[in-house]
Structures are given as structure tokens and as C-alpha cells.
Chains A and B, each alone.
Chain A
């Protein structure tokens, strides 16, 4: 085994990876899908949503912020872990307002797609029905905080690739919400439609104006194959 290479098992499958990789990145490269929401491969992991939680050497930990160790034993696709993930997804659905039937992101939404993949069929918890005004002050982007799941992807993207710090959180606990750095809303910030932060939202909180519904039904990201299929295809593809 080359120097710097580590080996671990996940659901009984042996995976080799390089030192310094996170568990979720190593599994992505190996074609093994770990469900996730806040994790984005181009951004620094935050461990916010806990959907990627796996059982690692007998303890539960978020795969996005756990570095791979040599010889670690990981459980990922188990009934209990998937039930826990489903509960997390259900809670996210009721904490915000997610009207999938008419949402501009339907078919392209990672929260909705994960709900389908994990078998969510009906709401279990009572709805919170939060009230948030749309921030339509920006000419090219609108902000619909009713959809926000507090993943922090936009915060991270705005700080690092964009170098702008447009977004942050304000408030604590259940009252925490997405804040923009500008009196008068998003239109008063340096945000631009080409920014990375405008394109990493997993739901429909940050939306490019007037682009909605341009892609027909049946032709969106998750219309034909479940979320994670692209990652799993890497494992199934024949060696080149």
C-alpha cells in the first residue's frame, strides 16, 4: 500500500483513500453514497445538518467532518441510521415552508430528493408555519427565507470563493435565520448572480430571478434518478 494511503471498511466494503480525506469525500470518490444536505464538495464542511451521521467504530459522528483513520469500521446504510436521517429531514420540512408542488426548485431540490430517497411519505411532526417576507430587493436574485434549512453553504461560499461575506446567521436556536450584510436587503449587498453563493443553495432559498420553470418537468436533476445516483455510478462503472 503506497505511503499515505489509508484503508477502512464501510458497510463491509473495503475502501482505500489518501490521508487527510474526510470520510464523506473518501466514500464519494469510491462510489459509496452517504446521504447529506449541508455538505458541498467545493466548500469547507460545517457539520450542521447531521444527515451524514454514520456509526464509526461504535460511535456516531458526522461523516463530513470526520477524517478517515486507518482501519476504521463504518456503518452507513443501516435501518437505524436511515431512520434517524429521515427524522432529521422531516424536522427540516416542518420547520420551514416547503410547498414542493409549486416550488421553483421541485425536481432540483436536495431536501425534496433526500425525502424521496429516504422514504418520506407524509409529515410526522406538526408544522411550524414560519412567516418570512421574500427579499426581492436584488435585481437578479431573490431570497426566500421560508425555504432556508440553515445549511450555511451560502455563508461559506460567500466568504471563501467569493470573498464577500454577504451572508451570516442572526439569532439563536429556533429563531436563527439567514442575515444579509446590507441595510435594505440583498440588493444593498455586493452579491452578484455569478457568485458561488448564488448557486450552492440545496433548496430554493437563494434563487436566480426569472429562471424558474425554464427546465420542464421530467428533465430536472432528480426527476429520473434519486439523489446520490451519480456518486453510486462511480462504483458501478467498469474500470477504464
Chain B
């Protein structure tokens, strides 16, 4: 739920080292009161009560920032501050964000709106905000040192510009950028078209989220800010599976999903069961002639992608990054592959030294989801998430698009697991299985025959899938 508080109360709860750093009372009177969010849930769309009408977006595990109209100007108030974000049930992170959450609230405006954004810095260091993708006066672009002085701790700055171009944008700091982004400072921005737009279709559901990555040691709370590439948590809106809400739609809804990438690597985002069109980038809507159907689109670093599809297949459809280690939660990168390694005798020896030792990985990593062993505090297993048929064995950037015949328009609630019509689900085959023919003499083929044969081929253990071995 959105909680409205007075600004002074907001100061009180945002706490931290800068609580004493005052903001002039005279200045406060002129500010819209900041709205603070205390929950990580997906909030219902914020229907515009003032200003130009538009069809609002739904921010996955997030919310839209309310505004006030002031002489025809839309006024928002962002408070940059330390926050505690629940990234998944049982795992909270100490991040920096805006108005109580990371990422910050989504800002929704309409093409042509004059926008005034107050930014109060409640961080221990200076900050600034860059409005990624916007056309605006150079002095509003938010690069500290280049376009403006950085906003010192405890100070409030104001940005003002006209949202000239409809499209999908982001905001993030441009002062001590690497640290502040590694700490979770970012937010989504949607500029809706004013009236009908030849390249922008009306949709029934419009979702948005940011891709972000953190490096938080299992058992700790604060991201490691100096990490360059070796992040261990791949998140959507600072949530990891099974903490990411599903995208719930009605059968035959036209669905738009807007995705922005503020990580340090690309993410091939993949949807099951449907083809989609990429209808926009941070440059704006794409020309119709350039659109083609895909089931995966790569969202490169610093980019936005807007995909659209007709949800015309009922069911629970996986929706995830296709880099498979991005659908894992924190894991070791130096763990040896134990597949096919016979542990007889050794396991006993090791368990004499490490009493709680259990063999894992001998048959693959799925062991992990089956054994349910204790792991460090404040972390989520590498592979987890129970579906209707057992563990989904996923983590990180993974969610589900739920298409339901009986989902009411405007109802974003989770309809539960899909009930498959009889005969539409994979099942065990109970007939006879014929022995397959295998080709012999594997080599380099005709074009490049293998020059030399290894004298000693490694011994390959094929452990037959018998009944579950008791470890």
C-alpha cells in the first residue's frame, strides 16, 4: 500500500547518517509531499486523476509515483535514500533507492507535459539524476560536474523540462554512478503519447521493469560495489525468482512489456508460447517495417526494449532471460563438476571431517532442489521455486506470464496455477521403447577427419537412471 506521510515524517523514517542535515522549512512549503512505499509488491496501476488522461503501466513489483498539478506543471518529489528491499521472501538487501524502494517509483507523464521533479538527497554522499533518453535542456541532463553541481547530502534540487517524446525511459544517478547504480539507484519513466500515435498501439496491459544486477555475498545484506562483471544476483526491479510477481493477463489481451537494462551485460529476454514484436527502443517507437516476430530479444546494456504480443494461448508461460546462469540465484563459480563421479567411499571419509557433508552434483545440480539442506542466512537457494509439479529449479531473472480466459479486465491478481485441459500435458509413455540405432566411429567427419586418436580416452561413466540412489 502507498502510504502518504508528511515530509518531516518521511525524513524521520528514511533515517540514516544525514537525518540531521536539515532542509529549509520555507523550501518545504513549496514542495509536494514525498510518497514513500514500504512494500515490494506489484501495485495496481495509478489512474491519472489530474492532468492529461493516459492508460497507466503496471510496474512489476513496483509502483507509480503520484504527482500534484501546480499551475499546469506536474510536480513529483523523489527522495534519494538508503532503503531495505526484500529481493525475495527470506532475503532482504540494504540498498540505496528512492522513496523507500529500489528501484524508485515509476514516473508516468504524457507527451507535452511540463514536468518539475524535486530531488531530495538523503544519501550520505552527493548525487544527481540523469533522465535517460529524454530530450531536455542541457542543464537538466543531470551529469554532475558537466551539467550541474552534484546535489549535496541533505539538499533538494529541482529539475524541470517538457516530456517532448513519447516512449520508454529510465532515470538513474550520474554522480558516483557505478557505486550508486550498484547500490540500486534507478527508476522507470514512461511518457505516454498524447492521443493516438501511428506507431504506438493501444494495449490492454502495459508492464514495465528494469533489469539490474547485484553482488551480495550469501549471508550478507549490502551489495559489493566494486564488482565489475561477476555479479551473483540477476534481478528484475531488484527482485529475484521466486520473488518476481507473475504477469497476469486475460486471454487475447494485447500486452506490452517495457524492459530497461541497467546491468553491465546484455540479457536475451525470452517469452514462451507466443511471438512478440519489438515496438520501441529508448529512441522511441520503431517503424512498422522494421518489426519482425521474435520469441527472444536481446536487451543490451543501457538499452530499452518495448515488446508487444497478443496473449492468445492460455496457460502459465515462462518468461525469462535466456542466459541460463541469469536464471540462477547466488552460486559458486568455482564449484567443480561432479557429474558422473563415483563418490563411494569418499563421501564417508569426508563426512568424518565435515559431519553434515552430503554428496551433491554427482547426477547434476538438481540434487540441490531435492535435498533441501540448510544454507547461509539471508540468501535464496541457487535453484528454487515450487511449481504445481515440483521445483521449477530457477532463480534470478525468471517469471511467468499467466494467460487466463476468466481474468477480469483491469484485474492484475494472480489466478493460481493453470489447469491443463485433459490430454494437453506431457505424460509418461507406457509402451515399449525400441533400442535406438547409434552411429559408430565418431570422428571429424569427411571434411576434417581427426588426425590422431587419443591413446587413452577418458573413462565415461554412464550412471543409469535407476531408482533414486540413497545418499
Answer whether A and B are interacting partners.
no
> Interface of A with B (CB < 8 Å)?
none
